[in-house]
Chain A
Amino acid sequence: MKKTRFILSLITMLCLAGWAWLRKPYSPSQELEPIVLTAFDIHADRPAGGYALAEAAAGWRGVTASSYNPASGLLALAHTSSVTPRDLTSRLKVLTPRPVSIKVFPEPAGTSCPVPAAALATLPGWLLGAGIFSAASLALLALGRPGKPVWQ
């Protein structure tokens, strides 16, 4: 019993310390609607055509920023998830007779973290959950008679 309590206390402390260390403090940026970045190859024959598309797209609902670069021929849009890249492609196609395609950048060479960033971000939440769970188990054990498991 003593051993169980010791292990539970250790788990509680480690989980809560890990959570406190990894936890992100509040910042007003957390309240902003998330955005996605999508680049389009718009094959504009003249820069003016590209700029006109960029200007039109900037006014669309869900688009927070738009940028056309004549050197690369790319139109990049920052947009919320209320519009999908496919929606945007179809809307752009309506405005230009030129082909429009989503630009996929080649992944840079070298090693990258095998764990997705989104999974890593959930770690503090899991640690807090585990910490609370083991603290609750510890409390239940403490309520039981010493030397006797609570479920007996």
Chain B
Amino acid sequence: MIKHTRIPALLLFVALFFAACKDQDGPLPQPDPTLYERLGGVDAIALVVDKFLANVVADDAINARFAATVADPFRTQLLRNNLIDQICAGTGGPCQYKGKTMLEAHTGMNITDAEFNALVGDLVAALDFYNVPQQEQDELLAILGPMKSDIVGQ
């Protein structure tokens, strides 16, 4: 008698076991893509950084600051790669930022609020040029924005 009452319980157990196994065979929930992935990876970031640097060089509100950088291809390269690595690492990409801290890099420059805004404007223009969606632009600016206190007035 006891044996018979156990059969439905056993069947239920087996059914649940297979149901659980079936669930596991289904697609696993994908992690949300990182901002790095949504931006399009390192090649897309490099395109935006090149456009941004071209905007900065054409912008006479700040281009004098980069006179030495433009004059020396090695420094141009260093700044470009540091910017790419900084954005790549900050957005969850497989890069390591190897440059100076923002405070170290900008100390002694006495950068003004207006200059900071001009540079951010040049970055936004580059993002707009490549049709980077507003959501991704906002997320990127939210990563770079807090660096302002280490850059302005140092």
Write the residues of chain A forming the contact surface with B, with a CB cutoff of 8 angstroms. Answer: 24-30, 32, 34-39, 64-69, 71-72, 74-78, 81, 104-108, 110, 112, 116-118, 121
Contact = CB atoms under 8 A, between A and B. Distances in A.
Contact of A64 (B47, B56, B77, B96): B47
B9 to A, nearest CB: 57
A69 B94 CA distance: 34
B50 A35 contact: yes
Contacts of B74: 116-118, 121
A37 B75 CA distance: 10
Interface stretch (B20-28, B57-65, B139-147): B57-65
A121 B73 CA distance: 13
5 contacts: A27-B81, A69-B55, A71-B59, A78-B51, A108-B65
A27 B54 contact: no
Nearest to B69: A37
Contacts of A71: 59-60
Given A68-B58, A75-B58, A105-B64, A34 B88 contact: no
B71 interface: yes
A28 B68 contact: no
Contacts of B46: 29, 32, 64
A69 B60 contact: yes
B88 A27 contact: yes
B58 A67 contact: yes
A38 B95 CA distance: 27
Given A24-B98, A32-B46, A35-B77, A108 B57 contact: no
Contacts, number: 119
A53 to B, nearest CB: 12
Shortest 9 CB-CB contacts between residues of A and residues of B:
A105-B67, A72-B60, A76-B57, A65-B50, A67-B54, A69-B58, A76-B58, A118-B74, A78-B50
Nearest to A34: B77
B57 A37 contact: yes
Nearest to B77: A34
Interface string B20-56: 0000000000000000000000110011001101111
B137 interface: no
Contact of A106 (B67, B69, B95): B67
Given A26-B96, A36-B73, A37-B69, 12 more contacts: A29-B46, A29-B81, A29-B84, A64-B46, A65-B47, A71-B60, A76-B57, A105-B66, A105-B67, A105-B71, A106-B67, A117-B78
